[in-house]
Amino acid sequence: MTTYKEFHARSIADRDAFWAEQARLIDWHTPPTATLDYSRPPFAKWFVGGTTNLCHNAIDRHLATRGDQAALIYISTETGEEKTYTFSQLYREVNRFAGILKGQGVGRGDRVLIYMPMIPEATFAMLACARIGAIHSVVFGGFASVSLATRIDDAQPKLIVSADAGSRAGKPVPYKHLLDEAIKLAQHPPQKVVMVNRGMAEMPLVAGRDLDYGRLRGEHMNDEVPCEWLESSEPSYILYTSGTTGKPKGVQRDTGGYAVALATSMPQIFCCHPGETFFCTSDIGWVVGHSYIVYGPLLAGCATILYEGTPLRPDAGIWWSIVEKYKPTSMFSSPTAVRVLKKHDPALLKKYDLSSLRLLFLAGEPLDEPTARWISDGLGKPIIDNYWQTETGWPILAIPRGIEALESRFGSPGVPSAGYDVRIFSEVDGSEVGNNQKGVVAIEGPLPPGCMTTVWGDDERFVKTYWNSVPNRMVYSTFDWGIRDDDGYFFILGRTDDVINVAGHRLGTREIEESISSHANIAEVAVVGVADQLKGQVAIAFAVVKDPARIATPELRRAHEGDVMKTVDSQLGAVARPARVHFVTVLPKTRSGKLLRRSLQALAEGRDPGDLTTIEDPTALDQIRAALSF
């Protein structure tokens, strides 16, 4: 038996041999000629010369042994639909979708943007892109037209796949008008749009551009589309994530490295094995959905549950009733979701037969101890925190129970996963800090397989953003503060930058500021993340208006606040809407004009605003205090 320590040490010290062994977990059309090319740091090319295909590994290779086994289990508590696709049925649907894409001239290297609710067709579209070597860019269905337009212009998709509507708590959320608006705003509109009609909302088709999926599917019923064999480093997808600038970054993922990383993580971290079922409650629009709703489970020969709905309908026991019915062995959710459940009857945690379930994984944001204890005690199952980022694609820190049943420690997401050489550096001089001392969590290059290979279309931004931020070192910065204890467990202590984390979703304060500033009556605005009991953090805005008459009375103020929120809703989506917009006449800045963000955040959290010797106008803080108590 290998211990975790031996296993991890080997993944770093004997890197090439270690990953060459792991690479056998997937099928290669042509085997790699070298495990790693790191001749141009920090750009890592894993499994050089090997050709493979994600769709082949997720579906085709399982057909002979598990064609009739469940692959995709779709459950919608929004529409009441429930449908299981076997690997063979999934194979058929994905071939049809691949035929549709090819029929529209989409091929290897072309981008396809997927703006979809949680329906099976979204998964078919992703896998169909992978099959033909097209690069998908899934945009979360909760984003609105400006967010969408920015992503269209950056990825320049040849085709967009969308649907008439999503659904939230039983109410349709129409997509088409947002999509049309985004395409109008975009400089690089797509040639074609394929629309899935769920019969939930109007979806007028634009002649010559928009196509009906149902009709096309009928024309491609019997298509068999061969897999395109991609060189390991060819991109599989782009997924946008927020940073400190207003422009989201396109995280680019490779093909072979990603397949290998996910294939290793399924048994080693998530303890899920071929023939078993995995239940991840995330959304395909986020990285967790890409890796652990779609690719990870299928690559490992597991069934995956695609759930459309909230954790509370028809009641807060819905997830556990799904566990009883479909018997997943591992489940993956977020701390916010658990905090939502915590407001409901704990008896619901005991109502169903959960004997299939071995472990519950939680990630995406800090996991507080009371929440972890509540759910662990309630379910009688171990809770495994794990820490990662859109950029890494799979856990940086976790408890790799598939290797060794290490104990979990409350407050710690665990220890480094295979291939991650995680260290903590001083933000002042880049020296490595000792155990139990706070610093920036960083990873020594090369990043292991599966991590981002670059920023889409912008190698320079990749190097500048991620590899040049720890002084005197070329290491990958996670932009998280952390400490390591004497036993090698890491603790994550919040972001070093202005990125905020709302209910496990990363939002850039700058993007929200840009949206609010576009409101005709806003002169200036600052958005900060403020601690919140339910969502971890929420965005709070402080805005200076141009025309004070519009906020002259409490009623007007409230109406104006609603109006500003509506601007954010329509441009970025409700997910980015600030919890409050406070109006002031001046923002706290230094004499050189730099916004005192940390002081603003501290005040909003009821803490001491800290060092204010450089403040230009001390009355600005009184205004903030007054606004907060308003």
List contacts with ligand AMP (CB under 6 A).
241, 287, 363-367, 385-390, 413, 478, 480, 492, 495, 501, 506
Q: What residue type is 596 in one-letter code?
A: L
Q: Which residue is nearest to ligand AMP (CB)?
A: 506
Which of these, 343, 331, 346, 334, lies nearest to 377 by C-alpha position?
346
Q: Which is nearer to ligand AMP, 186 or 397 (CB)?
A: 397
Q: Give least dist CB 593 to ligand AMP, A.
A: 28
CA angle, 319 as apex, 76 and 491 as ends, to 5°? 120
Q: Which is nearer to ligand AMP, 247 or 589 (CB)?
A: 247
C-alpha distances out from residue 447 to 11, 51, 260, 394, 549, Å = 12, 20, 14, 12, 54
Q: Give least dist CB 407 to ligand AMP, A.
A: 17
Query: In 3-state terms, what secondary structure has residue 314?
Result: coil
Q: What distance in Å separates the CA atoms of residue 2 and residue 579, rounded to the nearest whole number?
A: 49
CA 625 to chain centre: 35
Q: Give least dist CB 594 to ligand AMP, A.
A: 23
Instruction: State the helix-helix crossing angle for 15-22 and 4-13, rounded to 10 degrees.
Output: 110
Whether 583 contacts 150, CB under 8 Å: no
| Tokens of residue 304, six digits | 């995956």
Whether 363 contacts 385, CB under 8 Å: yes
Number of H helices, E strands in the chain: 20, 32
For the four alpha carbons of 233, 237, 243 and 246, in that order, the dihedral sign comes to positive
Q: Which is nearer to ligand AMP, 304 or 501 (CB)?
A: 501
H/E stretch holding 460 reads helix 459-462
Q: What distance in Å separates the CA atoms of residue 520 and residue 377, rounded to the nearest whole number?
A: 51
Whether 26 contacts 263, CB under 8 Å: yes
- Length reported for the chain: 630
Q: Give least dist CB 390 to ligand AMP, A.
A: 3
Q: Give least dist CB 367 to ligand AMP, A.
A: 6
Q: Which is nearer to ligand AMP, 94 or 455 (CB)?
A: 455
Q: Which is nearer to ligand AMP, 120 or 364 (CB)?
A: 364
Q: Give least dist CB 387 to ligand AMP, A.
A: 4
Q: Which is nearer to ligand AMP, 194 or 372 (CB)?
A: 372
Q: Give least dist CB 529 to ligand AMP, A.
A: 11
Q: What distance in Å separates the CA atoms of residue 167 and residue 200, rounded to the nearest whole number?
A: 9
Whether 139 contacts 114, CB under 8 Å: yes
Alpha carbons within 13 A on the beta-carbon side of 181: 14
Q: Which is nearer to ligand AMP, 461 or 495 (CB)?
A: 495
Q: Give least dist CB 431 to ligand AMP, A.
A: 22
Q: Which residues contact 286 (CB under 8 A, 6 or more apart)?
A: 140, 364, 390, 505
Query: In 3-state terms, what secondary structure has residue 374?
Result: helix
Biggest alpha carbon distance in the chain?
73
501: left (phi over 0), alpha (psi -120 to 50) or beta: beta
Q: What distance in Å separates the CA atoms of residue 133 and residue 74, rounded to the nearest whole number?
A: 25
Q: Give least dist CB 492 to ligand AMP, A.
A: 4
Q: Give least dist CB 398 to ligand AMP, A.
A: 9
Q: Give least dist CB 364 to ligand AMP, A.
A: 5
Q: Which is nearer to ligand AMP, 53 or 601 (CB)?
A: 601
